[in-house]
Structure 1
Amino acid sequence: MTSALHSPRRWLITLAAVLVAGTTFSLGQWQLRRAAQKEALQAAIESQGNLPIIDTRALAAVKNVTDVIHRQATLKGSWRAAYTVYLDNRPMNGKAGFVVVTPLLLEGGSQVILVQRGWVQRDFTDRTHLPDISTPMGLVTVRGRIAPPPSKLYEFKGMESGRIRQNIDIPAFTAQTGLPLLGVSLLQTGVASEGLLREWAAPNLGVETHYGYAFQWFGMCSLVVILYGWFQLILPLRNKLRTQRRDQLL
């Protein structure tokens, strides 16, 4: 008769334990690598933010505008208020509202950049009502941070055009307006003005989430190893020793 130590059931349990422990350990390692990647990205973002402030002339000279994302910027130009867009379902401080986006024609050239000017609370009694904001005429100076285009949310059909939109796609908006838009935006910073708040949340890459998942995976791996060691090694050995002592007494 095949001994319990070498029984098919024992080998099956061992194989399952090795597979589960190996898989959970690998997933934990993968989460740690993802955390390290995002920490490196966060460091790069902070490094960009510490570089000298970029101005209108310097931005116009940049060949690849994505290279200056996260740089602080002070730009001069004139608003193209007729093309202002209100991005819907954009909360700030727990309140629902719009992020107001207006194109800025940069001084001394033809380039235009979308400016995420700030946030304004929506009218809950009339969804189509546009809040009152002020858009200065003439030459203005706008301070902020070069950012990717406004983040995209799930979009229902019919919300890709008009003043109130769910998202704004730069190539599509360029085709609609004829404006020579840059492939980035400016996230305007500073105190509240023109009827707009600018209490933007700091970029959160979710590094802590990856560490949390890694802890869970390593915990599961440890649990499998402990349970296997107890039920398949320690407990059978204890039972064997007890049996041997009992046989000796008899």
Structure 2
Amino acid sequence: MRSSRIPDLWRFVLITLAALVCVAITASLGFWQLGRAAQKQEIFDAIARQQALAPWHNAELAAQVPPVTESISAVLRQHLLHRPAQLQGQWLTDQTIYLDNRQMQGKVGFYVLTPLRLLAPNEGKVIVVQRGWVPRNFQDRMALPPVQTASGIVSIEGRLEAPPSKLMELESGGNSGADPDGQKSRIRQNADIAQWAQQSGLPLLGLSLVQTGPATEGEGLLRDWPQINAGVEKHYGYAFQWFGLSVLVVLLYVWFQLVRRFYLPHRAGKAAVQS
């Protein structure tokens, strides 16, 4: 009788250990998802605080943003990115490039990038401006859509951002970000600002400016830039699923290993004695 109870005891112990391990793992994954949500919310709040700061003008931009030839530390980058700016300068229209395979509002086209030379006394500083998006002519893939660029002094507003994200491209003679025909075309897959500065001789700054505000009539640009979102909802959803699984394991364990194993037999035996 005693020996027959030993396998049952070991099975009970093993099931108990398995349930504890399962609950520990699922609960830890739930808390991990909550931690990820908190991290993303913190980053989003930091970006929102940056965007709410007073905009820099030419002098502040020239003094704060280093040239592309100098490295930007992580602390300085955090201080610079997403900062509003209101600048005055002149477009260097002949240096405009078109970044290929960029999407806006679900359509494929180009990001238009044009360097802006700041006005004196900061004319020694040039910043690459992400001016907006234009559609692509799929019948003639090398045709450039018309973009109107003012020739005089312009005033623009935007926010400081890193250069546009790089897309995967085939090697082109070691020229990262170059077009296949050796920089003869204005259509590029990527924009390497350091290489751009070296090839053009322009004193480009290490960050770019994403131009905001509606495009002027006839400019031909769309500026419906993606909005930064904390994206914490999915992490809360995953956490709910993991915690729900933990609760389910506990309920199943209580029912099958405690209620059905001990409570119901005990109650049935007690009822049988009383009858």
TM-score by length of 2: 0.81
Give per-residue Cα distances to partners, 1:53-109, cap 9 Å, x unaligned: 110111111166632221211112222223322222222122221111112222223
1:4 deviation in Å?
6.5
Match for residue 168 of structure 1?
A: 191
* Distance (Å, rounded) in 1 between the aligned partners of 2:190 and 2:34: 33
Q: Does the alignment pair 1:125 with 2:139?
A: yes
Q: Identify which of 43, 46, 63 aligns with 2:45.
A: 43
Would you say how many aligned residue pairs link Structure 1 and Structure 2? Answer: 250
Match of residue 105 from structure 1: 117
How many Å apart are 1:120 and its aligned residue? 0.8
Percent of counterpart pairs with the same letter? Answer: 49
| Structure-2 separation of matches of 1:196 and 1:120 | 6
| Deviations 1:174-226 (CA, angstroms, capped at 9, x unpaired) | 33333332221111011123110111121123122221221122122222222
Shift of 1:127: 2.1
Q: Does 1:81 align with 2:93?
A: yes
Larger displacement relative to structure 2 (97-106 or 2-11): 2-11
Which residue does 1:143 correspond to in 2? 157
SS at match of 1:235: helix
Instruction: Give the structure 1 partner of residue 220 of structure 2.
Output: 195
Tell me which residue corresponds to 2:73: none
| Residue identity opposite 1:121 in structure 2 | P
Q: Is the 8 A contact 2:65 2:80 kept in 1?
A: no
Contact 1:174 1:181 in 2 (8 A): yes
Matched position secondary structure for 2:148 = coil
Determine the C-alpha separation between the residues in 2 that align with 1:204 and 1:155.
28
* 8 A Cα contact 1:84 1:103, kept in partner: yes
Query: Which stretch of structure 1 is more off in the superposition, 69-78 or 152-161?
Result: 152-161
**Which amino acid counterpart does residue 256 of structure 2 have in structure 1?**
F
How far, CA to CA, are the matches of 1:177 and 1:222 in structure 2?
A: 63
Contact 1:4/1:10, CA 8 A, preserved across alignment: no
Within 1, Cα distance between the matches of 2:167 and 2:259? 54
| 8 Å contact kept, 2:128–2:208 | yes
CA contact (8 A) 2:93 2:114 kept: yes
Cα distance in 2 for partners of 1:7, 1:155 equals: 62
SS in 1 for 2:138: coil
User: CA 1:224/1:105 → structure 2, altered by over 3 Å: closer, same or farther?
Assistant: same
Question: Which residues in structure 2 correspond to 1:1-250 (within 5 Å)?
Answer: 1=3, 3=5, 7-62=9-64, 66=77, 67-107=79-119, 108-158=122-172, 160-162=177-179, 163-193=186-216, 194-241=219-266, 243-245=268-270, 248=273
Deviation of 1:9 after TM superposition, in Å, equals 2.4
Query: Which segments of 5 or more consecutive residues in structure 2 lack a partner in the other structure?
Result: 67-75, 180-185
Runs of 5+ in structure 1 lacking a partner?
Answer: none
Three-state SS of the structure 2 residue aligned to 1:24 is: helix
Alignment-mate amino acid for residue 165 of structure 1: R
Change beyond 3 A, Cα 1:10–1:153: farther
Distance 2:117 2:209 in 1: 12
The whole-number CA distance in structure 2 between the counterparts of 1:176 and 1:235 is: 79
